[in-house]
Amino acid sequence: MSLLDHITGPASVKALPAEQLPQLAQEIRDFLIQSVSKTGGHLGPNLGVVELTIALHRVFDSPRDAIVFDTGHQSYVHKILTGRHDFSGLRSRGGLSGYPSRVESEHDVVENSHASTSLSWAHGIAKGRVLAGQGSRHTAAVIGDGALTGGMAWEALNNIAADKSLPLVLIVNDNERSYAPTIGGMAEHLATLRTTQGYETFLEWGKTTLRRAPVVGGPMERALHGVKKGIKDVIAPQGLFEDLGLKYIGPVDGHDTVALESALRRAKSFGGPVLVHVLTQKGRGYEPARADEADQFHAVGVINPETGLPFEVAGRIWTDEFAEEMVRLGRERRDIVAVTAAMTLPVGLGPFGEAFPDRLIDVGIAEQHALTMASGLAFAGLHPVVAVYATFLNRAFDQLLMDAALHKAGVTVVLDRAGVTGPDGASHHGMWDMTICGAIPGLRLNAPRDGATVRRALREAVDVDDAPTVIRFPKGNVAAPLEPVRIVEGLDIMADHTDGGAVEQLIIGVGSMVPTAITVAEKLAAEGVRTLVVDPRWVIPVAPELVALAATAGRVAVIEDNLVIGGVGSQVATAVRAAGHAVPVMSFGIPREFLDHASRGQVLDAIGLTPDAITAALRP
């Protein structure tokens, strides 16, 4: 049996002699490559933290000691070491989550996979335990250098530094990347730390010299203190952390288990907050993940483990439509500027950045800063296009409301991965954005139904200079082109089964749910119901023309992949009532609950957002 076969929990990891740890690390890497290549998942980040996670479980006593992973996508090794070896259903319904999960294990603490939160979690856990008289229990937080670009991490550091006696160890997993290379002043600072070692050696020299000094506090000691401070600033810029009041240890080789254990034990025994700076290689041990285009191995689909290449070539995705149109707009208009939060490639801004490098701004994992800075760009006469995943718009609600909308800033926000996303689970579904945006005065939101309407929406959005605009589209392959049967007062009529008679059932399809709306209409029409399907495209605010059309129908149904609470259906119902019409409006969308990881189709089926389920609900 392999060493890995004997690992049933942290106690098994602690029991291994140190000389067997390199073999365990290699077995874990082999297991990850073979398993994740079959299911898809976050491969690169986990290959980089194998030795670090082993050391964590040898030094700390999980679950008595809490281990918090920032973002959580690098927790696969932690799952393995805590006894979860069945990766066959990773990120599939009924299988392991791709992130920590309290349902899975008592060793998992934080499930939310949004970045830059771990230090706040760790501070709260450590402080709470001290207040509860459990100060002997330690808390360790693992945060990447990419997540340190998020402002919330620095809010936490500011407060942690003031709690001098907290049993808290903060591990910076520095691999110079988040999804892509980390940018900004913090990245430059950590880069300096990586390349400037020798401060400890200087301190030892200084201590020896001071012991020989004839007079304590005399000229020689004062001179040495000045020299020490000057050299520290030059060769040891860890002063940034130490000046905050945090003990700093590092840099430590993140693939040397002996050095890691030593550093973590020193940190654990200190008796207060300590920051341990660990240098790792994302994708370590797997050549395809270390090559020039290693960022594609941050998260992979099903791949050939030998080559790293996908078995199937992906089709054209929604993001491609946005990416190409942004480049066209960039050539036509010099005022177009792209902004992203550490997601240049995933949101499709790579081609724009190649064509116009001076007009692409990556702010790091800082969505709040992105939206407010974009408002400033708009004030300066530019039109910024801020592209993020829909789930991450939640983090910048206040900035979209108070900085963009209140100031009538011409900012366009493009939301990728909107609606039900599937395998990444509860925190990655883009199911809140239309509810959030519907509460913002002046904001206009467009939900394209296919690639052509993505391009059309973007062009219309960047022409708006007196309010924020939002465009949202889903994950995956782009829908086949859907042409309207006619256009009435700016509304796309997608299907008409009325035979010239009165509309018994008006169905409003929102974005990617338009094909579902068309299918539902066909099913109802086959049963003799006169139906009409409309795609408003601009769904927030509700257009007066849509309200007028609704007033002519016997019933109205709205189908959307957003929360039913506060979504487009809710807004249509409110607008219809406000206009004095007594037409009943039914909303079909996502219930107010967190949805488990599964395929998109499985999730839609579970919540009744399928043609058959909707037809049954609408059947007279």
Strand pairing of 491-497 and 585-590?
A: unpaired
Q: What are phi and psi of 214, to 5 degrees?
A: -70, -30
Helices (H), 132-196: 151-160, 185-195
Spell out the residues 6+ positions from residue 223 whose beta carbon is closer than 8 angstroms to its own.
none
- Go through 490-527 and write b for each residue having 16 or more CB atoms within 10 A of its CB, e for each that does not: ebbebbbbbeeeebbbbbbbbbbbbbbbbbbbebbbee
Q: Is 282 a catalytic residue?
A: yes
Q: Which of 58, 72, 48 is nearest to 12 (CA)?
A: 58
Pair of tokens at residue 509 = 């399809």
Residue 484 three-state SS: coil
- The whole-angstrom separation of Cα 500 and Cα 484 is 17
Q: What is the DSSP letter of 399?
A: I
Would you give the end-to-end CA distance of the chain in angstroms?
63
- The whole-angstrom separation of Cα 522 and Cα 516 is 10
- The whole-angstrom separation of Cα 505 and Cα 37 is 47
Spell out the residues 6+ positions from residue 336 whose beta carbon is closer than 8 angstroms to its own.
326, 329, 330, 359, 382, 383, 385, 462
CA dist list (Å): 371 to 356, 378, 388, 416: 20, 11, 10, 16
Is 581 annotated for ligand binding? no
- The whole-angstrom separation of Cα 332 and Cα 245 is 51
Spell out the residues 6+ positions from residue 392 whose beta carbon is closer than 8 angstroms to its own.
114, 341, 367
- The whole-angstrom separation of Cα 97 and Cα 32 is 15
58, 228, 359, 395: which one is catalytic? 395
Is 175 annotated for ligand binding? yes
367, 444, 475, 537: which one is catalytic? 367
Is 213 annotated for ligand binding? no
Is 146 annotated for ligand binding? yes
User: Any idea which residue has 């007066």 for tokens?
Assistant: 544
- The whole-angstrom separation of Cα 454 and Cα 418 is 13
> What are the strands, taking DSSP E only, across 469-509?
469-472, 486-488, 491-497, 505-509
58, 228, 282, 555: which one is catalytic? 282
Q: What are phi and psi of 595, to 5 degrees?
A: -100, 130
Peptide bond into 541 cis (omega under 30): yes
Q: Is 523 a catalytic residue?
A: no
Is 367 annotated for ligand binding? yes
Is 480 annotated for ligand binding? no
Q: How many CB atoms lie within 10 A of CB 243?
A: 10
Q: Is 367 a catalytic residue?
A: yes
The residues annotated with a catalytic role in the active site are: 282, 367, 395
* Binding residue positions: 73, 113-115, 145-147, 175, 286, 367
* Binding residue positions for Mg(2+): 145, 175
* Binding residue positions for thiamine diphosphate: 73, 113-115, 146-147, 175, 286, 367
